[in-house]
Amino acid sequence: MLVVMSVFMFLNAALRYCFSSGIIWADEVCRYSFVVTAFLGIGYCIRKNRLMRMDSLRKLLPFKAQLIVEIFIGLLLACFFSYFAYSAVTTVQQGIVVGSKTEILRIPLWIFYFVALLGFMSASVRSVQKMASDLMVLKNGESAYKEALAAKRASEGWEED
């Protein structure tokens, strides 16, 4: 989707600059490509632990306390995304009943609401998975965590620090 977005943005900008005329529907394609990328990327970011966060205070805590904070955050995220997934179900249903469509391409909007539902469901599942993983680390201790992390990095081809 990011490639599609980039191509259409570049093409449209070039056409507007060179010919003073662009592709009318390119902006809509870019907008909805961004929406799809954002919603489907939530679960992936949770899986790869790439969420934006302010963790300077958490890093000052001992290892077990950090894990407890992470588990609590995972619980909050799972509840948050589950609530939004539940709300998205009714939004998809209403979108189907109303039948609204995008302005130019006439794509039914419920499709994008459904993508949001998939993103929220994925984020809920990934939050629960991360919370379960953190509970296992809490149970097994810091040394087991460091060994597992080193093995994962070695299997992915990371160089040791």
Question: Tell me: the pLDDT tens digits for 116-127?
Answer: 999 999 999 999
> Is the pLDDT reported for residue 159 higher than 70?
no
Residue 133 inside a domain? The answer is: yes
Q: In b/e form, how buried is each residue of 122-157, taking b as 16+ CB within 10 angstroms?
A: bbbbbbbebbebbeebbeeeeeebeeeeeeeeeeee
Q: What's 159's DSSP letter?
A: P
pTM: 0.82
In a domain, 160, yes or no: no
Hunting for tokens 């160089």 — which residue is that?
159
- Asked if the structure places residue 161 within a domain, the reply is no
pLDDT of residue 59: 86
Residue 46, CA distances (Å) to 16, 56, 64, 141 in order: 39, 19, 21, 22
Amino acid letter, residue 116: A
- For residue 106, the enclosing domain spans 2-155
pLDDT digits (tens, 9 = 90+) for 42-96: 999 999 888 888 888 888 988 889 889 999 999 999 999 999 999 999 999 999 9
Q: What is the mean pLDDT of residues 123-144?
A: 89
Decide if 40 is inside a domain. Answer: yes
In angstroms, the CA 12 to CA 32 distance is 16
Question: Is residue 121 a part of any domain in this protein?
Answer: yes
- For residue 160, pLDDT over 60 is answered with no
Residue 158 has pLDDT above 70, yes or no: no
**Which residue in 139, 126, 107 sits closest to 35, CA to CA?**
107
Question: Where would I find the beta strands (DSSP E) of the chain?
Answer: none
Checking if the pLDDT of 5 tops 80, the result is yes
Q: How many domains in the chain?
A: 1
**Tokens standing for 132?**
């379960």
Residue-wise pLDDT for 9-49, tens only, equals 999 999 998 988 888 899 999 999 999 999 999 999 999 88
